Amino acid sequence: MSGTFFDVIVVGGGHAGTEAAAAAARMGAQTALVTHRTDTIGVMSCNPAIGGLGKGHLVREIDALDGLMGRAADDGGIQFRMLNRKKGPAVWGPRTQADRNLYKNAVQRYLKDIPNLSIVEGGVTGLIRVGSEINGIRLQDGSQLIARAVVLTTGTFLNGLIHIGDRQIPAGRVGEAPALGLSGDLSALGLTLGRLKTGTPARLDRGSIRWDALEKQEADVDPIPFSFMTDRITTPQIACAITRTTSKTHEIIRENIHRSAMYSGKIEGVGPRYCPSIEDKINRFGDRDGHQIFLEPEGLDDDTVYPNGISTSLPEEVQEAFIRSIPGLEDVRILQAGYAIEYDYVDPQQLDLTLSVKTTRGLYLAGQINGTTGYEEAGAQGLVAGLNAALFAAGSVPTVFSRTESYIGVMIDDLTSRGVAEPYRMFTSRAEYRLSLRADNADMRLTPLGIRLGCVGSERRAKFLDYQQQRLDLFEALGSLVCSPNEMAAAGVSVNQDGRRRSAREILAYPDVSWSDVVKVWPDLASCDEKISDAVSIDCLYEIYLERQSADIQSVRAEEERAIPVDFDYSSLSGLSNELKGKLSALRPHNVAQASGIEGMTPAAVALLVGHLRKTT
């Protein structure tokens, strides 16, 4: 077969593709990132923001495995806010608005610095396959690239169709051609495809907004970075403004709702329920007197403003009329109309936990193509697919992420076991072990795994090992510092006056006791590094709950981590196909979690293996 050879080819330079390519290359695989246009690598298709509730956890987890998104968000973030601060730290949501160009440039800069990674500009029109194995891709110019593994991350581009009122424009995003051809190849592999849709609001000219009339929302005074590698945010922080729709807005939308692409029956795809268009909001919650809109500048030197909360597929003249009925936007100039987009996705139940297509060796899918929505969901899947594509190319055992250890694991398990009925988005409520899967401890949960896999660079490795030691040492030390309620009261800190001596760790478990209170009792602790003391304070707050949860987690993990003897005789497993016996014998997984990530391992095959291991080991 002629063509240029790689270990891994990643198709698509969006959020899934960049993480996939970077992860595969960090693992040492010769990797090609093939995308329509190199200048659009890392572009944010919709809202200029990273993180949020549940999504912020994913960014921290990507970062813990040395991915790009957290560092790029720190470089491009212009309004850091920790959401949900009134609730416990387990569900805090780190978020930042981002300067589109700074973010995109940062992603491109980080990619350039990664060895083993080639970036190829071009449209991919087809897959090269031999039997049930993918061997490469075909490009629009007729050339082909050969690889052991291919990761597809085509986003909203597969047969993408934009709708504005009754106008329909084939496109992947506004101004960019759709990807045609690939869907046919995926169907030919026997995969079931469906249609989904998403939408975006009009973009507004900053100079035409009456900012003085609007309420402001400022950034946090002391922004907390996403990345473990960022010490301090240095990008200037800006405010955004808040306004609301009015009864006039609702009237205009109601009068014209039949002209919305969403309501005229032109769209077959299902949209995200929790990220509704303004037409949906008026239709479903018509009795509300107004819907909040955040006016978010798209950059420090950019005159474009993103009105968060009014995505629409109404005709352009109706968009202008309803937007001008909103306070502060009476004279607004629209730079680009809002639109809805429909695209093909692949039912993710056809993937295994490594994001590999179960019936086709060497093909991985990640991002919006799997029925998700959002940069963070895409990036996290890209990381998993990229890591596993590199492991596959090297003939190594795959790696899977457990629901007990990460939001990444929760998402991939949800997608592959339940599929999607609408675009899937991460929420903290999807995780059963929320108290242990916190944004603040993502590094402690995942960086050791990344070090073992080989996807964490030497700089992060050294910095993390030092941090981990300090964090564990301080946690230990706090357990041996003990004082009585009287001694605490003398230091000005009140706890139950029951005469019981308590350790500093127990004292920090009281939600109203802070680190500064503990320092009043033990002044030597004042010299602790703030990053470490903040993290350990949260560990102490949750210690008692985590002890209760750990029994549950342990039993799930024990099953996943059940060791498989190196000389295990797979041929003795009656009920398992010869093909699976061959794969297991060749790859020799160390434990059940690894075995379940092997292509072709169904839940029934895993149950058979576990049953046999229980009896024999």
Residue closer to ligand FAD, measured from CB, 336 or 468: 336
Among 108, 156, 312, 436, binds ligand FAD (CB under 6 A): 156
CB atoms within 10 A of CB 499: 8
Rama region for 178: left / alpha / beta (φ>0; ψ in -120 to 50; rest): beta
For residue 491 the two structure tokens come to 């230091």
Stretch that binds ligand FAD, among 40-48, 295-303, 400-408, 575-583 (CB under 6 A): 40-48
- Return all residues near 107 (Cβ < 8 A) that are at least 6 apart: 18, 41, 42, 68, 72
What are the b/e assignments for 423-435, b being 16+ CB within 10 Å?
bbbbbbebbebbb
Kindly tell me which residue out of 45, 159, 260, 441 binds ligand FAD, with binding defined by CB under 6 A.
45
Question: DSSP letters along 341-406, please?
Answer: EEEEEE-GGGB-TTSBBTTSBTEEE-SGGGTB-SHHHHHHHHHHHHHHHHHHHTTPPP----TTT-
Whichever of 219 and 378 has its CB closer to ligand FAD, that residue is 378
Q: Are 311 and 201 in contact (CB under 8 A)?
A: yes
Q: Least CB distance from residue 232 to ligand FAD, whole Å? A: 28
d(C-alpha 43, C-alpha 17), whole Å:
11
The end-to-end CA distance of the chain, in Å, is: 46
Q: Which of residues 93-132 bind ligand FAD (CB under 6 A)?
A: 123-124
- List, as residue ranges, the binding site for FAD: 12-17
Residue 373 CA, distance from chain mean position: 9
| Edge-to-edge strand list for the sheet holding 240-244 | 215-217, 240-244, 292-297, 304-308, 203-205, 334-336
Tell me what percent of the chain is helix, strand and coil, each rounded to the nearest 5.
40, 20, 40
**Nearer Cβ to ligand FAD (81/612):** 81
The C-alpha atoms of residue 587 and residue 28 are separated, in whole angstroms, by: 19
Question: Does 400 participate in binding ligand FAD (rule CB under 6 A)?
Answer: no
Structure tokens that stand for 28 in this block: 């040492």
Binding mask 534-573 for ligand FAD (x = CB under 6 A): ----------------------------------------
Half-sphere exposure of 275 (CA within 13 A, CB side): 22
Q: Does 308 bind ligand FAD (CB under 6 A)?
A: no
Residues 263 and 254 sit within 8 Å (Cβ to Cβ): no
Q: Which helix (H) or strand (E) holds 138?
A: strand 133-139
Residue 124 and residue 158 in contact, taking contact as beta carbons nearer than 8 Å: no
Binding positions for NAD(+): 271-285
Q: Which stretch binds ligand FAD (CB under 6 A): 34-42, 66-74, 328-336, 409-417?
A: 34-42
Q: Which is nearer to ligand FAD, 175 or 286 (CB)?
A: 175
Detail the residues annotated as belonging to a binding site: 12-17, 271-285
Q: Which is nearer to ligand FAD, 32 or 90 (CB)?
A: 32
The nearest distance, CB 583 to ligand FAD, in angstroms, is 29
The conformation of residue 244, written as its DSSP 8-state character, comes to E
Q: Segment contacting ligand FAD (CB under 6 A): 5-13, 58-66, 394-402, 436-444?
A: 5-13
Residue with Cβ nearer ligand FAD (429 or 486)? 429
Which of 35, 312, 319, 360 is in the footprint of ligand FAD by CB under 6 A? 35
Pick out residues in 324-363 that bind ligand FAD (CB under 6 A).
341
Instruction: Enter the DSSP assignment of 142.
Output: S
Contact pick of 8, 17, 64, 387 for ligand FAD (by CB under 6 A) = 17
Of the candidate spans 89-97, 371-379, 406-414, 541-549, the one that interacts with ligand FAD by CB under 6 A turns out to be: 371-379
Q: Select 54 or 589, whichever has its Cβ closest to ligand FAD.
A: 54
Residue the block writes with tokens 């007729």: 142
Near ligand FAD by CB under 6 A: residue from 15, 138, 438, 505: 15
- Does 54 interact with ligand FAD (rule: CB under 6 A)? no
Q: Which is nearer to ligand FAD, 131 or 142 (CB)?
A: 142
380 or 518, CB closer to ligand FAD? 380
- Is 36 a binder of ligand FAD (CB under 6 A)? yes
Interface residues for ligand FAD in 247-306 (CB under 6 A)?
275
If binding is defined by CB under 6 A, does position 157 make contact with ligand FAD? yes
Q: Residue 560 CB, nearest distance to ligand FAD (Å)?
A: 28
Smallest gap from Cβ 16 to ligand FAD, in A, equals: 4
Site for ligand FAD in 194-233 (CB under 6 A): 198-200
Give strand pairing partners of 603: none
Size of the site for ligand FAD (CB under 6 A): 36
Residues near ligand FAD, by CB under 6 A: 11-17, 34-36, 40, 45-47, 123-124, 153-157, 172-173, 179, 182, 198-200, 275, 341, 367-368, 373-375, 378
